[in-house]
Amino acid sequence: MQTKNIFYLVGLMLLVTSCFKDVTIDVDEQESVLVLNGWLKAGETPKVSVFASKPILQKGEIRQINTAVVNLYENDQLVGLMTRNEQSYYTLDGLTIKPGYKYEITVEYPSYPDLEASVTVPLMLNPDEITIEHRTKQVNDGYGTYSESEISLQFKDEKTSEDYYGLAVSSYDLYYDKEYGEDTVYNSYTYGGLESADPTVDEIYYNYNSMIGIRDDLFNGESYSNVFRSYNDLRYYEYEDEYSYTKSGSSVVFYQFSEALYKYLLSLENNRYPEAFVEPSQVYSNVKGGYGILGASTELNIEIDEERNDFYY
């Protein structure tokens, strides 16, 4: 019996290793090019980062480019020169990203090929046709009972184009010290990931948060509804005494993504957690003359207004 088990294990190893093969990637290992990364969000000031790619065999950190010439165009009209801020992003103060507008960014830097990228910011669906509801569910895992959240989503898709949607949770902590009169401390972060058993949606792990991705190829022009699970209790907690005020809460964020941004996020996911028998795939890029991504989104935030009695789950 032991000999049969050994033969079985050897055969299984041969089967698995026979599926491995060399994959040729068409990249000049000696060439460094510019990399542009930017996620333009409707209603916010644009910000992008610029790096120099590192040749495959070169050691050291990826170099950030701090003195590039970065121009921003809105609907094919030059708006201005983006300048680098203290957080090392190139921004353009006074400009707000608008839904339905096309934006193009060009980058110039000595000894590197010029690069450019463009994206159109998606229009948000009619908010009256989007329904997002929260429900608290009591779960018993055999060791005890705890609370988790369910998010139901329903909306009417537009038939005019291919659309890409997302659903995520954004959480925050708010603190105010009454005794010393300190300013309110507000910390926002992504947390409380969403999960789904529906094979037609994409689960994307981005920025420490599990995001649900939805493509309309199966329901183009029709109504869509689904229920998603959060493994956390998303109800808000609030506490106040004579010395301080504290509140921790969450919002559900409904996104409409540009096609390029959705494909980029999905390609990151596929490279982070590849399937065992699938060849590696390149991270999606829409940048000409270099690498990176220029994506865009419009979003709708719905704060969860149900309160829990204490901070513990």
Q: What is the pLDDT of residues 97-125, one digit of tens each?
A: 999 999 999 999 999 999 999 999 999 99
Can you tell me the distance from the alpha carbon of 287 to that of 105, in angstroms, rounded to the nearest whole number?
Answer: 10
Q: What is the pLDDT of residues 132-168, one digit of tens each?
A: 999 998 888 889 888 889 999 999 998 878 999 999 9
For residue 10, what pLDDT band results from cuts at 50, 70 and 90? very low
Structure tokens at 183: 């300013």
Q: In the block, which residue shows the tokens 């300190």?
A: 182
Q: Say what the pLDDT of residue 293 is.
A: 97
Can you tell me the distance from the alpha carbon of 175 to that of 183, in angstroms, rounded to the nearest whole number?
Answer: 9
Average pLDDT over residues 70-93: 96
Q: What is the pLDDT of residues 254-278, one digit of tens each?
A: 999 999 999 999 988 877 765 655 6
Q: Say what the pLDDT of residue 73 is.
A: 99
Averaged confidence pLDDT in the chain: 85
Average pLDDT over residues 237-244: 90
Alpha carbon 66 to chain centroid, angstroms: 25
Q: Say what the pLDDT of residue 156 is.
A: 94
Can you tell me the distance from the alpha carbon of 134 to that of 242, in angstroms, rounded to the nearest whole number?
Answer: 32
Give the closest residue to 40 by CA, choosing from 202, 240, 301, 257: 257
Can you tell me the distance from the alpha carbon of 266 to that of 122, in angstroms, rounded to the nearest whole number?
Answer: 18
For residue 82, what pLDDT band results from cuts at 50, 70 and 90? very high
Q: Looking at 8-12, 64-68, 70-74, which range is the least confident one?
A: 8-12
Q: Say what the pLDDT of residue 180 is.
A: 76
Q: Looking at 70-74, 118-122, 207-211, which range is the least confident one?
A: 207-211
pTM reported for the whole predicted model: 0.82
For residue 13, what pLDDT band results from cuts at 50, 70 and 90? very low
Under 8 Å between Cβ of 140 and 148: no
Q: Say what the pLDDT of residue 201 is.
A: 95
Q: What is the pLDDT of residues 169-179, one digit of tens each?
A: 988 888 888 87
Q: Looking at 47-61, 89-103, 206-220, 268-282, which range is the least confident one?
A: 268-282
Q: Which of 99-103, 204-208, 241-245, 303-307 has the highest mean pLDDT?
A: 99-103
